[in-house]
Chain A
Amino acid sequence: MEKKQKFPLSGMWHILSVVVIASLLLAACATPTTEAPKPSEAPKPTTAPTAAPAATSAPAATVAPAATAAPAATVAPTNPPPPKREAKGGIRKSASGFKGTLNLWVLGYTPGNQFANPFDNAVAQFMLDNPDIKVEITGYPPNDEGFTKLNTALQSGQGIDLLRLPSDRLPGMVRDDLIEPIDAYLTADDKADIFPNVLDVTRLKDGKAYAWPLWVVPMGMYLNKDVFAEAKVDMPSKTWTYEQFVETAKKVTFKRANGEQVYGFAGFVDPGVVNTWALWMNEDVSVRPVTADRKFGFDNAATAAGMQRFADLALVHKVTPPDFGSMKDSDVKGGFTNKQIAMVVDATGFAPQLVAAKANFEIYPIPTYKGAKLTVGAVGLIAVAKVKDDVKRKAAMDLAKYLTSSEVQADVPPGSNVATGFYLAPGARKSVKVNPPLDQFLGVLPDMWITPLIVDWAPLTRLIHPEFQNVIFGKVKAADAMKKITPEANKLISNK
């Protein structure tokens, strides 16, 4: 005889089960305190590798300061509201006659963060002067995933008219014929105002300039003064050597009374950035990824020595967090802001975020090694995507010109809802003045190395990155790691 099935829950039990399940769902869906993952949000405040080909005294091209994502548990910025605006004319007014929408993609932009506010303000001013033009901003994070998103949008030709990007990404885009040259739109005043070697960074195919230089972004060392005070360690000299840096890092690596570990140093290591490279490239002038004769330059003893010296921060001196080498950018920045890391190497874009968070910090140059001064960086650019419509292209060029001018600095001053004003790094024009604390980066500009302009820079960094990580993790010697990738690296460098 078959057993009779009991019928489903009675009403009361049913309701109770639904309530319990709903509670469990809510608990399960609580987001962790770590940064949102890369793909769609969390603008990372790192700057892309810096550009600027010529090692002249003019500011080197560096990566545009990355918009940093707000680290976990930072103090909410309390910025005053933006200034009241009115149309001002001049270069703000586009003579194109365009009516419609321009799509602007901005590196590191997330609505409301310190990196977004400058552009929101600038775009608001532009739209006031051009009531028929609407500008929509899309953000993309300054890491490998963000550049993937950008490339895909450019390749599809949809929804992107102009973009803020770091200079080392430009060659690949120019090769794929995705970017408009700007020569026809450069006036004599522009040529006189923009630093010549910075403009040269954008000269690629046929010697044409392919982007408007915006700013020059070097890396610097950020020191958390509160951590130094807590550790009772004096701030080092700004002419510090690498050895002094290591000793300092050791002194500010300590355990608090509550058991919380504080680390002396961290930096973001990712295929999309070269933040930490200056700390080992200063080993010797031969330590450069591409030699003068277009060969892979890291396959030499000096690179091995420098890279190993850097890895020893984690392996020997133990001044870095346990996840160093694979930390998320938000964890690096969050650790610094939350006084768990005393020193971080980062680009200029971190400074406004720290100012907004009222962090007590100071910016130092990268420590010298055997007298060698070096920082890495790139040029932040604003490029115009290939646009078939001549009128729209002119409008995009007008917006790009405005966004890279001294007028935009006047329109978005510090003290509004932007901690350091529009420019988050030293400007590419002589007429652009640098506001504190970014003026602390001016001294390092003459020593800035800019990532080379090769079309396959992104695959090259992706080739170098896992080996660099393995060196930091202590799994492989630097010499062996770089030797292993030399044939493939040479292939990538020789691609045109």
Chain B
Amino acid sequence: MRRFFQKHGWSYLFILPSMTTFIVFVFIPVVWAFIISFQKYSLRSGGRWMDPFYANYETAFTQFGGIFITAIQNTIVYSFFTVTANIFLGLILSSLIQPLSHRLRTFFRAAYYLPAVTSALIIGMTWSFIYNAQWGFANYILRLLGLPLVRWISDPDIALASVTASAILTIPATAVVLYSAAMGSIPTEYYEAAELDGANGIQKWWHITVPLIKSTTLYLVVLYSIASFEVFERIYIMVPSGVGNSTQTIVTQIYNNGFKDLNFGVGAAQAFVLFVMIATVAVFQFRFLQSDVEY
């Protein structure tokens, strides 16, 4: 034991602060939330076990006419389109800036990273302004083109699509930077060899670049999937009063139950459903996207 601490003590001491932070602010709250999901919980009087024990989960799926099912559907649709578009957009943009000189590449990486450092509040408010049916920029363009006005975030049929489009058109900063870095690490010999074999630009990109950055793609797919499943602030800011139930997502439902109705048990149950969904998606993504590519 003494030898163990002599050999590894300092290592554990250095990771102690982050581990403590993780345990106190992540692990314990997650476990506590799981426990609360089986209780009727009040801030003032604590928790009472539900009878039957799964009652909160049942309520989560049946309350308000099954709005949670709608929220799950909306979330899946939103995630599918934003993840796909963000990966594709990130890949295209980073491929376009890769051949540039180092200085220009650095400039564009910094420029494309701006959305990541801009407050989500500002982005949401800006898109609210763009989408305003009466005086928004989008309808201003439509008016100039002689096209009819669109109720971007007040038509239940297209509100979710509008919110999704706003997410897609907010440049995927992380994807651009990570892809750009990954592309920079691909040895140039592969491209030279491909050129000798008569490959054109597209062929080189498809057969060399894309496979060799697959691990980055996997990372980004998982990252963006988690982020898109947890979409909240964009909806909360752009459509605060809702648009029928067409913009309800899983996290807005968690928020409504947990903070508006103070129904922490049901909110926690919904949060655990979200956790299971994200974990399932991540496992699938690792299973099907993970592979080593070597040349």
Binding site for B on A (CB under 8 A): 3, 5-6, 8-9, 13, 17, 20-21, 24-25, 28-29, 31-34, 36-39, 143-145, 147-148, 151-152, 155-157, 176-178, 259, 261, 269-271, 321-328, 331, 335, 340, 458-459, 462-463, 465-467, 469-470, 473, 475, 484-485, 488
Q: Tell whether, in the assembled complex, residue B156 and residue A473 are in contact, meaning their CB atoms are under 8 Å apart.
A: yes
Known: A32-B126, A459-B261. A488 touches B188 (CB 8 A): no
Rounded to whole Å, the gap between the CB of B256 and the closest CB of chain A is: 7
Q: Tell whether, in the assembled complex, residue B122 and residue A31 are in contact, meaning their CB atoms are under 8 Å apart.
A: yes
Contacts A326-B153, A328-B240 given; 6 further ones with Cβ under 8 A? A9-B102, A148-B259, A156-B43, A271-B241, A326-B239, A488-B65
Q: Closest residue to A341 on the B side, CB-wise?
A: B134
Known: A462-B256, A488-B65. A9 touches B103 (CB 8 A): yes
Task: Decide yes or no whether B260 CB sits under 8 A from chain A.
Answer: yes
Number of B residues near A (Cβ < 8 Å) is 51
Q: Tell whether, in the assembled complex, residue A32 and residue B156 are in contact, meaning their CB atoms are under 8 Å apart.
A: no
Residue from the list B102, B125, B154, B242 in contact with A8, Cβ < 8 A: B102
Q: Tell whether, in the assembled complex, residue A145 and residue B240 are in contact, meaning their CB atoms are under 8 Å apart.
A: yes
Q: Tell whether, in the assembled complex, residue A473 and residue B155 are in contact, meaning their CB atoms are under 8 Å apart.
A: yes
Task: Decide yes or no whether B129 CB sits under 8 A from chain A.
Answer: yes
Binding site for A on B (CB under 8 A): 42-44, 63-65, 101-103, 106-107, 110-111, 114-115, 117-119, 121-122, 124-126, 128-129, 132-134, 143, 149, 151, 153-157, 188, 236-237, 239-245, 256, 259-262
Which A residues are CB-close (under 8 A) to B64? 462-463, 488
Show 6 residue pairs from A and B whose CB-CB distance is below 8 angstroms, ordered by the A residue: A5-B102, A6-B102, A25-B114, A148-B259, A466-B245, A469-B241
Known: A37-B125, A322-B151, A470-B244. A155 touches B260 (CB 8 A): no
Which A residues are CB-close (under 8 A) to B134? 261, 321-323, 331, 335, 340
In the complex, what distance in Å separates the CA atom of A409 from the CA atom of B43? 38
Residue from the list A5, A37, A323, A469 in contact with B132, Cβ < 8 A: A323
Q: Which 5 A-B pairs have the closest CB atoms?
A: A322-B133, A32-B129, A323-B154, A155-B43, A326-B154
In the complex, what distance in Å separates the CA atom of A437 from the CA atom of B182? 67
In the complex, what distance in Å separates the CA atom of A113 from the CA atom of B115? 33
Q: Tell whether, in the assembled complex, residue A323 and residue B133 are in contact, meaning their CB atoms are under 8 Å apart.
A: yes
Q: Tell whether, in the assembled complex, residue B243 and residue A28 are in contact, meaning their CB atoms are under 8 Å apart.
A: no
Which B residues are CB-close (under 8 A) to A270? 240-241
Which B residues are CB-close (under 8 A) to A155? 42-44, 262
Which B residues are CB-close (under 8 A) to A475? 156-157, 244
Which B residues are CB-close (under 8 A) to A157? 43-44
Rounded to whole Å, the gap between the CB of B155 and the closest CB of chain A is: 7
Q: Tell whether, in the assembled complex, residue B126 and residue A473 are in contact, meaning their CB atoms are under 8 Å apart.
A: no
In the complex, what distance in Å separates the CA atom of A458 from the CA atom of B256? 11
Q: Tell whether, in the assembled complex, residue B118 and residue A470 are in contact, meaning their CB atoms are under 8 Å apart.
A: no
Q: Tell whether, in the assembled complex, residue B241 and residue A269 are in contact, meaning their CB atoms are under 8 Å apart.
A: yes
Q: Tell whether, in the assembled complex, residue B111 and residue A24 are in contact, meaning their CB atoms are under 8 Å apart.
A: yes
Q: Closest residue to B126 on the A side, CB-wise?
A: A32
